[in-house]
Amino acid sequence: MLKSFGYVLQHVRLDYGRLTWLAALSGLSNAIVLAIINVAAANAAEETRSHRFLILFLISITLYVVTQKKIMVIVADEIERVIHAIRVRLVQRVRSAEFEHLDDIGQAEIYTSITSETSVLSDASLRVVVAFQSAILVVFLMIYMALLSMTAFLLNLLFTAVGAAIHLVRSKAVNRELHAALAEENRMHDGMQDLLGGFKEVKLSSARGDELVAWIEARSSKAAESKTNTQRLHINDYVLSQVTFFLLTGTMVFLVPMLSDAYSDVVIKATATSLFLIGPVSNVVTTLPFLARARAAVESIEALEDQLENARRPEPSNHRSVPTPDEITLDRVMFRYGNGGEGFTVGPFELRFKRGETVFITGGNGSGKTTMIRLLLGLYRPHGGRVLADGLAIDDAHAVSYRNLFSAVFSDNHLFKILYGVESVDPREAADLFRMLEMDQKASLVDRTFDTVRLSGGQRKRLALIASILERKPYIVLDEWAADQDPHFRETFYTQIIPWMAARGMTIIAITHDDKYHDLADRRIELREGKIHRDIRLRADDAPSAAQEESAS
């Protein structure tokens, strides 16, 4: 059960010596309060001594308040720093993961770990501190009990040991139910992503909507059932702990006199001590559900970290830059889907992309166009062959710099409202782009932020193209960009925008199905069944492109 706390503690930077002294003073001061009450009650008739005990009583309470508050503030601040560090580490590992493996992990599990499960650790931290303080207090009270009566101490020890043993027996069942609940919640989040991401499709089919909602409800019901089972186990533990102390108090009154010569003085003090124990022991018991949830959260986070670690390339000893190449070569590059040599193979490709040319990639659905582009961009690691930049083999040390040569608008492109990574934007350049893409009446760029992204799919693609151009990368990849555009703007894209980009030295690699405009490219590469069917040069190397002709005119 302490695994969750240990996971956090291994990242904590605290002065444990100082905290130990503070915790000891806090527990001792609390125990002294009880001792003073017992002694003062026994000497209540002596007014002078009562005043003295009152002063000691107030001093002990003050010491407890100061030390307890100090401990909780120190630990709370540090725990939140650690939770923040865990979140950041998870985000960094997500960023470092290989694109091809990230889908295998699942977005729901990643979201849950970074948000919900780190919050569980945060919520449990202060409760653990209170429980730890309560445990220290129990130790001091037990010592005080032993000084009062060894018989009473042994009986308290016996009852405490029985309660702890019962909890340990139940802990495995609790952990199993919590893991089942987390698994069902992850599946429920997958369903919610389907509901929200495919909301239009859901609205168009009541049967689809009914079944999807029923599936989400079933996952939620199973998660609730597992959590209810854990709550019942913890409720039973809590009630049992209360009954145990009631029985213990009765034992102090009825059994201790039979086993000990002393009666009135010892029994009254031992009974008071037993009653005083109920509070701190209850704190420990009520913290156990939070510890159980924290443990399940930690195991889930650690499992995600392991998956993300396995999904990333080994970090190179040093990153090396790749100068902007005049030619990028796919040297017998291939990629295989599936395991054990089975599945669809794309490639091998023997291709050269020269700087400044416009290349159209065509082919039917499933012909390998998107996979080839991902290999070219460095998003997929080739299963065979090499990617070369002016003859330089792109390995792990060059991968980051190589990918930074490209901007892209994918067919399933995500539009960032803020132009992350673009240090500054020339307002005049941005205004020209908005006018050229006929978006000046629809949206605008304020500093580096689009004032709206609530637009049609085609209009969002236009904003994405504006963002890609403003990155000022030498190579731009467009994955079926024109598919969402109306016929008028589709023609504008091929006859005006692509030549405009080419005239500014951009290398354009576009996946397209628009046969009508294929002859506007310098080259056309056609794929079939994962192989190059044709690589057609439509314009001689020394012939001016349409863009160059337009620029010259």
The pLDDT tens digits of the residues spanning 8-32 come to: 656 666 666 777 777 778 777 777 7
Between the ranges 89-98, 291-300, 518-527, where is the mean pLDDT highest?
A: 518-527
Structure tokens at 39: 């002694």
Question: Could you tell me which residues come within 8 angstroms of residue 446 by beta carbon, excluding any fewer than 6 positions away?
Answer: none
Distances (CA, A) of 257 to 161, 244, 249: 22, 19, 13
Find the length of the chain.
553
pLDDT computed for residue 331 by the predictor? 94
The Cα diameter of the chain in Å comes to 116
Q: In which band, very low, low, confident or very high, does the pLDDT at 59 lie, cut at 50, 70 and 90? A: confident
Find the mean pLDDT for residues 462-490: 92
Residue 412 is predicted with a pLDDT of 83
| Res. 262: pLDDT tops 60 | no
When pLDDT is cut at 50, 70 and 90, the band that residue 481 belongs to is very high
Which residues does residue 363 pair with via DSSP β-bridges, in sequence order? 527
Least confident segment among 108-112, 240-244, 460-464: 240-244
Examine the pLDDT at 215 and tell me if it is beyond 50.
Answer: yes
CA angle 390, 393, 397 (to 5 degrees): 120
For the stretch 76-103, pLDDT in tens is: 777 778 778 888 888 888 887 888 777 6
What confidence tier does 553 reach under pLDDT thresholds 50, 70, 90? Answer: very low
Going by C-alpha positions, the residue among 157, 144, 222, 149 that lies closest to residue 183 is 222
Number of other residues whose CB lies within 10 A of the CB of residue 313 = 12
The band of 551, judged by pLDDT with boundaries at 50, 70 and 90, is very low
CA-based end-to-end distance of the chain: 76
Q: Calculate mean pLDDT across residues 473-496.
A: 92
Quote the pLDDT of residue 544: 45
Provide the token pair at 49: 């001594």
Query: Residue 490: phi, psi to the nearest 5?
Result: -60, -45
How far is 439 from 430, CA to CA, in rounded Å?
A: 11
Q: Report pLDDT for 411.
A: 87
160 or 385: which carries more pLDDT confidence?
385
Residue scoring higher pLDDT (533 or 291): 533
pLDDT at 475 over 90: yes
pLDDT given for residue 164 in this prediction: 65
Secondary structure letter of residue 168 according to DSSP: H
Lowest mean pLDDT among 237-241, 403-407, 517-521: 237-241
Residue 298, phi then psi, degrees to nearest 5? -60, -45
- Classified as helix, coil or strand, 442 is coil
Contacts 24+ apart (CB under 8 A), 447-452: 448/418, 448/419, 448/422, 448/424, 449/417, 449/418, 449/419, 450/415, 450/417, 450/418
Question: Which is more confidently placed, 377 or 179?
Answer: 377
Query: Amino acid identity of 305?
Result: E
Radius of gyration of the CA atoms of the chain, in A: 35
Residue 354 three-state SS? strand
* Mean pLDDT for all residues in the chain: 79
The larger pLDDT score, comparing residue 168 to residue 430, is at: 430
Q: What is the pLDDT of residues 526-541, one digit of tens each?
A: 999 999 999 988 776 5
- Considering only CA atoms, which of 409, 360, 365 is closest in space to residue 512? 360
CA 446, 449, 454, 456 torsion: positive or negative?
Answer: positive
What pLDDT is attached to residue 545?
A: 44
Q: What is the pLDDT of residues 339-389, one digit of tens each?
A: 655 668 898 999 999 999 999 999 988 899 999 999 999 988 899 999 999
In this prediction, residue 543 has a pLDDT band, given cuts at 50, 70 and 90, of very low
What pLDDT is attached to residue 437? 94
Peptide bond into 280 cis (omega under 30): no
Task: Report pLDDT for 391.
Answer: 92
Residue 19 CB neighbour total at 10 angstroms = 17
More confident residue, 171 or 445: 445
Half-sphere exposure of 256 (CA within 13 A, CB side): 29
Given a cut of 90, whether residue 503 has pLDDT beyond it is yes
- What is the pLDDT, as a whole number, of residue 435? 94
Q: Is the pLDDT of residue 204 over 70?
A: no
Question: Rounded CA gap, 133 and 66, in Å?
Answer: 13
Residues above pLDDT 70, as percent of the chain: 78
Q: How far apart are CA 446 and CA 450, in angstroms?
A: 6
81 or 240: which carries more pLDDT confidence? 81
Closest by CA to 148, choosing from 252, 63, 222, 221, is 252
- Count Cα neighbours of 288 within 13 Å in the Cβ-side half-sphere: 27
Q: Read off the pLDDT band of 167 (50, 70, 90).
A: low
Tokens representing 270? 């031992």
Residue 85: the pLDDT is: 82
Provide CB contacts within 8 A for 498, sequence distance 6+: 358, 508, 510, 520, 547
Classify residue 14 by its DSSP letter: -
57-66, 110-119, 188-197, 422-431: which is most confident = 422-431
Region 313-326: mean pLDDT is 81
